[in-house]
Each structure stands twice: as structure tokens, then as C-alpha cells.
Amino acid sequence: MTVRTIGHWIDGASSESRSGRTAPVFNPATGGISAEVALADATEIDAAIASAQSAFATWSRTSIARRQGVLYAFRELLNARRGELAALITAEHGKVLSDAMGEILRGQEVVELACGFAHLTKGAFSENASTGVDVYSLKQPLGVVGIISPFNFPAMVPMWFFPIAIAAGNAVILKPSEKDPSAALWIAELWKEAGLPDGVFTVLQGDKLAVDGLLNDPRVQSISFVGSTPIAKHIYETASRNGKRVQALGGAKNHMLVLPDANLDLVADQAVNAGYGAAGERCMAISVILAVDPVADALIDKIAERIARLHIGDGAAAVEPDMGPLITAQHREKVASYVDTAEQDGARIVVDGRGLTIDGHEGGFFFGPTLIDSVPTTSPAYREEIFGPVLSVIRVPSFQEGVELINSGEFGNGTAIFTNDGGAARRFQHEVQVGMIGINVPIPVPVAYHSFGGWKQSLFGDAKAYGTHGFDFFTREKAVTARWIDPAADDRIGSGINLGFPRND
């Protein structure tokens, strides 16, 4: 049986790879290979960048009105056909269809924000800043910009960046994860149908060679990345050293602090939703519950009861399950190793998802929802990002100790507090050292007109994703100081030679 090969998208068309290098793409629900994805070589990397650079010269000079027209057309096409994209995501990532649809809808918020880009890319004007002198600013696009996206959100994360970049007049090269590469090509075809000129949106399939090509080529002006902290740090340091702008969002270890006055049924529902949705493969997933005494035992019972009712299976099944498989067999083993470590370190495994098999899908990469009590804070299972359906409970004696535990961690991506005490919530939002905070909201992903990004080892540099940060990132400003001689004035154009520093008079 011949397995199809997923190639690149260069110059507005599918481009077969000639590198001879490929990687397998799996259906996580069955464990079978569904395709091979091309891995670009140096020649293909150069071709992709050259195409984008050529397209930028024209697109950057295209009128605001025409750019908006293309964005609106893309938005309408995506809205009408998002079910096709959701099915592609489920087939290669494994998440259930409703979750795949959810990520598309959140990404579409950024598309809609970008449709109104004209207001956000305006400059400013100061008339007569000095006698007869006006000062004004212009915002212009960067050029060719690179996006390196992770496997867990093959549509939403790229949409955090490319709608704004394209609206601002840049040419985009998207390097998707080789684990689920088809969504990027589908999006490229949709852009073409929407009227985007060839070369403005390029898909470069590949591995580290493609990443390094984007990082090191001087024609690429910026890099936007979401992924693990070690890679985010490497991306930030390398791209910055090469003089590029960088958005580098890393990993997380998100805590939920539960106070004794909280509604435990609400907490249990939200902990299950935030801990096990997308099989825990979310950088904003809640992975640790800090239960302030004496609520831990009751909360654990409520969570365990809800876990028992969850249906795990193929995300594309006619009767949709609550949770699908993990992305690869290797990742499943990595998640299992953290549970093993927690057990060895003295934690109590309340619900064990190791060894789960699904009838008819015995080869699938399934891992059941796992609940662990009393994980030592010295254990790697507590300190490191697991990125799987594993929820840990740690008992703390007070609000203050809970906050101190959150602040002592190396990550600062997202956190939440559950309480009915407004004063405690207000104190929490001021004291906690985390970039995105939920108050009775477990996954506090900001809406598109705000910006997404954490603190500490969850974000390198200060450039966040989308919102006003996004428009600032994908444009650079020129300040113009201009004097025009009034034709009605006399012929005197200056006040003589003066070698002193210019003054504003």
C-alpha cells in the first residue's frame, strides 16, 4: 500500500519535496501511519524564503482596502468550511472533533481582529511641533516572517500570528509540526481561494533543518514560536543573536488554588475540563490543584467520580468521546514515566490511566485520565510539565502557602483561583507571579483583543501573541520630521547657519 506524501506550499501551489527525507504521520487513534511528511532540505528552504521575499515586495504596497478584502474573504471561507479543518486536526492530532472545532473558533477570533487592522496600524501626527515643522510616524511591515508552531494546536496557534502578520503587509512562512502537518496546507489553499497573492503565505514542512534555516537566514525578519521551554529559549537566543524580532512562548505548570469557601462541584467540573481536555496536551491545562485544608478529600472524591463517567475513544467516532488519544506512542510513554516517578516518590495514585486500551483501537496511543494525591513538591512529576491527562492534588494549609508555592515554580504561564471571597481573589491577582490569571475560570486564555503570554520560563523576551502586542510586533515605526516652505511667505527659508544642537522653538 502506497502512503501519500505531504509536501510544501510554495509560490501559491503544492510543492512536492525532492529532499528524499520524510517522517511518518500517525493516526493516534489507531497507531497506524496515515502519511509521510516531507522534510525540507537547504534548497527547498531557500526557495520558500525567496518566494516569500518576492511576494512581500508587492503585498507590502497593496492598499489597506484590498488587504482587508482578502482578510474578510478568508474569514468567510473559514467560517463556512471549518468542519473540514476540524476533521483533519482530529485525524492527525487525535483530539475530539468538538475540541478541534473549538480551537478553530478561538483562532478565528484573531482573524476577525485582523480584519480591523487599519485602526491598529495607524501612525500619529503632530502639527507644528516646532515652528513650521510637523512630526509624524508611519507603521510599516517587517518583511518575511517565520512561524514555528507546535503539534497541540495545528490551527489555532498559527492563527495567533499569521492573520495579523498578513494584514500588516508581511509575507509569512509557516513551519508546522511534522506530527500533524495537513492543517497548514488546508489553510494555505483557503488563503489562495480568498485571493491572497502567491508567495504571501508559504508552508515549509520540516524538522530542525527547516527551523535552523528560518532562524539563520537574514532575509527572515522575525520568528514566532510556541512550544516547550528549552526550545523556546533556544529559539529566542538564536533569533535574537541573528538580529530578528522574536515571540517565544514556552511551557507551563499551571496551578488551581481552591479555597475552603469554593463551590466544590464547580471546582470538580472545571478541574476535569481543564485537566483532561485535549488529553492534557495544552500549555494552559491545569495540572496541579492546590487544595487549602480541609477540602482536599471531598474534592478528590468528586473528581474521581467524574473521571469514572468519562468516555475515552477515537475522536472521530460517530458518538463523540470526551477525550481522545495522545499524539504519539513515545509521548504516551513519557507521560507514563511521570506517573511512575510520582508513585516512586510516595504519591498516591487515586485514578490510574496507565495501560488503557480501547476495544477496536488496541494500537492507539491512549492514556486514561489520571488523578494523583499528595505529590511531593520535589518530584519531577510536580516540577516539570507533563503535557498529558495527569492531574495532581497538593494539600496546603493556607492561601499564602498556596501563592508561595505557585510563585516558587520556574513557570508563570497560567493559574486560577476558585473562591467566593472577592478580597482573596483580588489579593491573588496582585500577588501571584503569573501572566494569565483566572478567577473561577480554569483556562484563562485571553480573547483576541488582549494578548497571550506568561511570565518567567513561559515567555522569553517581552513580545506576547496577538492583541495590540501582535500589531506592534509585526510592524516597525518610522518617525518623520518635515518642513514645507509656505509659498505665501517671503523667500527667507532659514535663520542663518547655527551649528548648535537643533532646538524646538
Domains along the chain with CATH numbers: 5-250+458-479 (3.40.605.10), 254-439 (3.40.309.10)
Residue 416: predicted pLDDT: 98
Of 465, 457, 467, 464, the residue nearest 434 (C-alpha)? 457
Half-sphere exposure of 280 (CA within 13 A, CB side): 29
Going by C-alpha positions, the residue among 251, 260, 222 that lies closest to residue 239 is 222
92 C-beta neighbours (distance < 10 Å), count: 25
**Quick check: 397 and 378 in contact, CB under 8 A?**
no
CA distances from 79 to 66, 104, 444, 446 (A): 20, 9, 24, 21
Residues of the chain with pLDDT under 70: 1, 489-495
| Sheet with 475-483, side-by-side order of all strands | 125-130, 133-141, 475-483
Q: What SS3 class is residue 288?
A: strand
In angstroms, the CA 147 to CA 278 distance is 23
Per-residue model confidence (pLDDT) at position 495:
62
- pLDDT reported for residue 494: 58
Give the per-residue pLDDT at 97: 97
Phi, psi (deg, nearest 5) at residue 43:
-65, -40
Chain center to CA of 26? 22
Amino acid present at 234? H
Return the closest-CA partner of residue 206 out of 5, 16, 2, 8: 8
The pTM for the full model equals 0.95
Are 301 and 118 in contact, with CB atoms under 8 Å apart? no
Over residues 454-498, the pLDDT tens digits come to 999 999 999 999 999 999 999 999 999 999 988 876 555 556 777
Alpha carbon distance 387, 335 (integer Å):
7
- Residue 490 CB partners (closer than 8 Å, separation 6+): none
Q: Which are the catalytic amino acids?
A: 283
pLDDT of residue 234: 97
pLDDT of residue 499: 81
Q: Is the peptide bond before 230 cis (omega within 30 degrees of 0)?
A: no
